[in-house]
């Protein structure tokens, strides 16, 4: 298949679309086949996905649904524009996309607009379908589209312009069938959709790209024409007409069932996804967050206990310091004058001796000191004992008095350190205050956590549970409908086989007209040939796609060595990577991501449509090594395709020093793959009351 139909984006101009406030002017995309990549990078939340969706909305009139799509309160139009619109004012939001062919001739120009006008002062917010979000009831929004295209039958460079909604819609549908959007506008997070056999859009997209159903339709057409051979040519008119009618009737039923199938399957998919999202939320709150919050509460409670204990200990210390010292301090003067008196008594040797009269008299009698020394020749010692004897008591009061004097002296000596007591008390009080502040902080924190838990438990979770119950019922209904549809389809198909064979028999046996007989035989022959051709081509198509996908996947997939091959379901086109071992391990997100990209590239390579390719979050869930591998493969895997990547700064600029891996940017620069590079920068725009408005600028990166 030759590469004829090359389409590249020349530029995009955005005005007031989501984060992009004001007219961006034309943002040029790379059309250099040697450096085909255009990069938009920025931190999360700055408008990468909005840029992606601006292109999607420009072409299809709706944004691409993300995996966790929700109804957002803010719509497509920048909130500053909506919020500051005055009564009688008009404003517009638009996306203009210019598309070129391989010769750099402008081929198409799509301008999709929303015109806003304020026709009152009402501020009540209502959901507006045109804007896709809530805007004041007083704001009127109208959509408009202009499509300019080159006349394929003319050499004239002038574009033909049309604003007729139906014409534009029909033309765009022809050039960019919705089902093929997955092959040029990719959301990195949705790449694993290709692994899902239930995705009817993937199947439809592949069929649209491969044009394989043409043969099937042709066969059906011939069959239908052949079946129309009139009843007048047969000898058994009644049976002939009856069977003909029954076949037509069953064909109608079959068509209905086939038409219902993608609708109901899509419904099941959407319901299942919403249900999974709900379950994830419940799990998140039930297991992860709740556990973490509870752990934090428990840990805070332990810290609180420790703080309480510290406060109590310090309080006790203060109490002890006060209680042990207050009475002494109060009696400071009394103790001091008592000690003075005691000293005076001691000097006058009036204070009772430490020894009792009995002991001292005994010592003198035995001429021996308490230490065992002989006192016979130590007159001085004997005199001392005699002195002591005169003031000693013949009772225990002597001992007690000396203890009282000693303890009183100690108290008085301790007064020298009484400033230390104040210091110690102050230190304890400071600690108590510090602990009290900490305690309050922890209590507040726990109150917040408790409130959060209450909120999660009582309201949010309940709502999610209720919603999930409803979704489960709907899913059950949808599955039942699908089952019924499948049953009807199976029985109709079975019946049709029988009826057709019966009808063939009737025709063969009862048709008199030779001419009609020949016509029927010829039709049957063409039918059989077409079916064979269709089956053969489909097989070959799947085989080629499989080989190419396998080739790319094995070169770029993380841990590719654990896989030995790729298989593609011939009916659903679902892809699967087969492991080389028998382990029943699921493919990782990163591997699924690469498998999806490989599959898309393989299909694009063998089709005639070499359209631009825009990937949002191309490196989602992919390791740094795999990112570098993918970047190095781009020159061969994407060849002449214009490629636009919307990446986070972290994915784009980070180089991993530990493993010596370069960044995505340096790899792409080394391969000379980057043609244009833009940095998304958020700037504050205005502050109205408490609300702050920001705008995202697309700045050329030098």
Partner 1 sequence: MIALPLGWFAKNFFYDVEDEEVKNFYSKIENKSPLNTKSSIFYGLRQWDIFRYSLALGVQDGCKELDFKRVAANIPTDWLHDQDIVAMFGAIMSKENVNLEILQDPKKIQTTCENIANYGVRKLIEINSQVDMGNPIKEYESMLTKTISQSK
Which chain residues interact with partner 1 by CB under 8 A? 315, 318-319, 321-323, 325-335, 337-338, 341-342, 345, 350-352, 395-397, 399-401, 403-404, 407-408, 411, 415, 418-419, 421-422, 425
CB of 68 to partner 1, least distance (A): 53
Rounded Cα distance, 675 and 668, in Å? 10
CB of 307 to partner 1, least distance (A): 17
Q: What are phi and psi of 16, to 5 degrees?
A: 60, 25
Residues in contact with 676: Cβ distance below 8 Å, sequence separation at least 6, in sequence order: 28, 29, 30, 37, 38, 39, 700
Q: Which is nearer to partner 1, 79 or 356 (CB)?
A: 356
Q: Which is nearer to partner 1, 123 or 332 (CB)?
A: 332
Rounded Cα distance, 409 and 337, in Å? 11
**Are the C-beta atoms of 564 and 578 separated by less than 8 Å?**
yes
CB of 320 to partner 1, least distance (A): 10
CB of 44 to partner 1, least distance (A): 51
Tokens of 167: 């014409």
Residues in contact with 240: Cβ distance below 8 Å, sequence separation at least 6, in sequence order: 231, 234, 503, 506, 507, 510
Tokens of 636: 């061969």
Q: Which is nearer to partner 1, 421 or 453 (CB)?
A: 421
CB of 400 to partner 1, least distance (A): 5
Of 42, 43, 64, nearest to 53 by C-alpha is 64
Q: Which is nearer to partner 1, 422 or 497 (CB)?
A: 422
**Are the C-beta atoms of 643 and 615 separated by less than 8 Å?**
yes
CB of 305 to partner 1, least distance (A): 21
Q: Which is nearer to partner 1, 99 or 351 (CB)?
A: 351
Q: Which is nearer to partner 1, 20 or 435 (CB)?
A: 435
CB of 328 to partner 1, least distance (A): 8
Q: What are phi and psi of 494, to 5 degrees?
A: -60, -45
Q: Which is nearer to partner 1, 255 or 320 (CB)?
A: 320
CB of 342 to partner 1, least distance (A): 7
CB of 423 to partner 1, least distance (A): 10
Q: Which is nearer to partner 1, 315 or 505 (CB)?
A: 315
**Are the C-beta atoms of 294 and 453 separated by less than 8 Å?**
yes
Q: Which is nearer to partner 1, 352 or 590 (CB)?
A: 352
**Are the C-beta atoms of 82 and 17 separated by less than 8 Å?**
no
Of 666, 619, 616, 668, nearest to 644 by C-alpha is 616
Q: Which is nearer to partner 1, 65 or 403 (CB)?
A: 403
CB of 377 to partner 1, least distance (A): 35
CB of 416 to partner 1, least distance (A): 11
**Are the C-beta atoms of 146 and 111 separated by less than 8 Å?**
yes
Rounded Cα distance, 56 and 393, in Å? 113
How far apart, in Å, do the first and last CA atoms of the chain sit?
39
Rounded Cα distance, 428 and 422, in Å? 10
CB of 355 to partner 1, least distance (A): 15
Q: Inter-axis angle of helices 200-210 and 589-606, to 10 degrees?
A: 30
Rounded Cα distance, 563 and 578, in Å? 5
Q: Which is nearer to partner 1, 73 or 344 (CB)?
A: 344
- HSE-CB for 115 with a 13 A CA cutoff: 9
Q: How many helices (H) and strands (E) does the chain have?
A: 18, 18
Q: Which is nearer to partner 1, 433 or 472 (CB)?
A: 433
Q: Which is nearer to partner 1, 244 or 353 (CB)?
A: 353
523: left (phi over 0), alpha (psi -120 to 50) or beta: alpha
3-state SS assignment for residue 18: coil
Alpha helices in 557-588 (DSSP H): none
Q: What are phi and psi of 83, to 5 degrees?
A: -70, -30
Tokens of 540: 């070959």
Q: Which is nearer to partner 1, 246 or 328 (CB)?
A: 328
3-state SS assignment for residue 227: helix
Q: Which is nearer to partner 1, 254 or 341 (CB)?
A: 341
Q: What one-character-per-residue DSSP string does 233-299 give?
A: GBS-HHHHHHHHHHHHHHHHHHHHHHHHHHHHHHHHHHHHHHHHHHHHHHHIIIIIIHHHHHHHHHH
CB of 385 to partner 1, least distance (A): 21
Rounded Cα distance, 495 and 489, in Å? 10
**Are the C-beta atoms of 90 and 141 separated by less than 8 Å?**
no
Tokens of 81: 């524009």
Q: Which is nearer to partner 1, 300 or 336 (CB)?
A: 336
């Amino acid at each position: 298949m030759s590469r004829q139909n090359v389409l590249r984006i020349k530029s995009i101009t955005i005005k007031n679309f989501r984060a992009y406030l004001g007219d961006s002017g034309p943002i040029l995309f790379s059309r250099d086949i040697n450096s085909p990549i255009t990069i938009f990078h920025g931190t999360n939340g700055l408008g990468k996905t909005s840029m992606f969706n601006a292109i999607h909305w420009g072409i299809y009139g709706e944004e691409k649904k993300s995996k966790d799509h929700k109804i957002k309160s803010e719509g497509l139009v920048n909130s500053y524009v909506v919020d500051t619109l005055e009564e009688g004012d008009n404003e517009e939001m638009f996306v203009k996309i210019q598309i070129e062919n391989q010769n750099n001739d402008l081929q198409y120009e799509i301008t999709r607009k929303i015109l806003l006008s304020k026709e009152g002062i009402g501020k009540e917010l209502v959901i507006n379908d045109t804007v896709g979000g809530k805007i004041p009831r007083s704001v009127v929004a109208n959509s408009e589209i202009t499509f300019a295209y080159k006349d394929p039958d003319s050499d004239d460079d002038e574009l033909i312009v049309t604003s007729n909604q139906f014409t534009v819609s029909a033309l765009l549908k022809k050039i960019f069938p919705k089902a093929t959007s997955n092959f040029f506008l990719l959301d990195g997070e949705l790449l694993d959709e290709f692994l899902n056999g239930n995705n009817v859009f993937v199947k439809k997209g592949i069929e649209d790209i491969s044009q394989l159903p043409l043969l099937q339709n042709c066969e059906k057409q011939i069959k239908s024409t052949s079946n129309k051979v009139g009843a007048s040519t047969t000898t058994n008119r009644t049976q002939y007409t009856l069977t003909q009618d029954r076949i037509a009737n069953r064909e109608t039923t079959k068509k209905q069932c086939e038409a219902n199938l993608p609708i109901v399957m899509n419904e099941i998919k959407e319901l299942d996804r919403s249900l999974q999202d709900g379950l994830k939320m419940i799990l998140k709150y039930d297991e992860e967050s709740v556990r973490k919050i509870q752990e934090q509460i428990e840990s805070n409670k332990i810290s609180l206990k420790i703080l309480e204990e510290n406060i109590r200990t310090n309080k006790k210390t203060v109490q002890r310091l006060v209680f042990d010292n207050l009475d002494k301090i109060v009696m400071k003067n009394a103790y001091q004058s008592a000690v003075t008196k005691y000293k005076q008594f001691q000097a006058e040797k009036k204070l009772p001796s430490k020894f009792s009269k009995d002991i001292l008299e005994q010592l003198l009698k035995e001429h021996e000191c308490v230490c065992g020394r002989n006192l016979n020749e130590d007159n001085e010692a004997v005199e001392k004992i005699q002195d002591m004897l005169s003031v000693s008591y013949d009772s225990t009061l002597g001992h007690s008095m000396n203890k009282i004097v000693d303890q009183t002296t100690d108290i008085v000596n301790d007064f020298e350190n009484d400033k230390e007591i104040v210091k110690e008390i102050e230190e304890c009080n400071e600690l108590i205050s510090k602990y009290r502040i900490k305690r309050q902080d922890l209590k507040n924190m726990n109150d917040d956590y408790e409130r959060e838990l209450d909120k999660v438990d009582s309201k949010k979770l309940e709502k999610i549970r209720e919603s999930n119950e409803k979704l489960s019922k709907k899913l059950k209904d949808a599955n039942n409908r699908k089952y019924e549809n499948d049953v009807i389809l199976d029985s109709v198909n079975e019946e049709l086989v029988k009826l057709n064979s019966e009808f063939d028999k009737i025709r063969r046996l009862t048709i008199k007209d030779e001419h009609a007989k020949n016509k029927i035989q010829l039709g049957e022959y063409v039918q059989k040939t077409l079916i064979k051709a269709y089956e053969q081509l489909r097989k070959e198509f799947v085989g080629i796609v499989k080989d190419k996908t396998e080739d790319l996947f094995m070169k770029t997939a993380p841990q590719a060595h654990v896989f030995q091959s790729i298989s593609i379901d011939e009916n659903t086109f679902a892809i699967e990577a087969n492991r080389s071992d028998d382990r029943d391990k699921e493919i990782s997100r990163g591997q699924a991501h690469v498998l999806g990209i490989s599959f898309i590239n393989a299909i694009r390579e063998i089709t005639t449509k070499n359209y631009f390719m825009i990937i949002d979050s191309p490196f989602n869930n992919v390791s740094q090594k795999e990112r570098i591998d993918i970047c190095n493969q781009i020159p061969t895997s994407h060849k002449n395709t214009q490629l636009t990547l919307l990446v986070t700064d972290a994915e784009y600029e980070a180089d991993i020093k530990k493993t010596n891996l370069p960044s995505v940017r340096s790899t792409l620069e080394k391969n000379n793959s980057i043609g244009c590079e833009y940095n998304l920068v958020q700037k504050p725009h205005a502050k109205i009351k408490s609300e702050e408005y920001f705008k995202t600028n697309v700045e050329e990166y030098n």
